Amino acid sequence: MQTPRCWFAAVVFNNAIYAIGGYDGKQRLKSVEKYNVDDDTWVYVENMNKERSRHAACVAQNKIYVVGGVDSNSKIVKSIECYDDQTDKWSVVGKTEVSLSSHSMVAV
């Protein structure tokens, strides 16, 4: 990866691995990197709207969804963001009713 990060979320989507958000030792991140399996490279894609670490992500309906986590002020992030790789855009699509951090998520 180009940015060191821990407490990030990762998904496999369209033959690539996405490393989403996290913490670089100084700050929470909203950056997202995509590992291209075919050519062994990491590239940045569009940033999320909100920095977060200790969040969860999954792929559903051909999009990446990110839920919860902790922001730069150590506050729980309640927004749900959705990434569309066709437009390279993140959008806020909702919010959680409860605080979620250090959790897991899977699409069914």
- Residue 75 half-sphere exposure toward CB, CA atoms < 13 A: 6
Name the 3-class secondary structure at 97. Answer: coil
Map out the domains of the chain as residue ranges.
9-95
For the chain, which ranges sit under pLDDT 50?
none
The whole-angstrom separation of Cα 20 and Cα 28 is 11
The whole-angstrom separation of Cα 73 and Cα 70 is 8
pLDDT at 95: 96
pLDDT at 28: 98
pLDDT at 94: 97
pTM for the predicted model, two decimal places: 0.94
| Token code pair at residue 108 | 């069914």
pLDDT at 108: 86
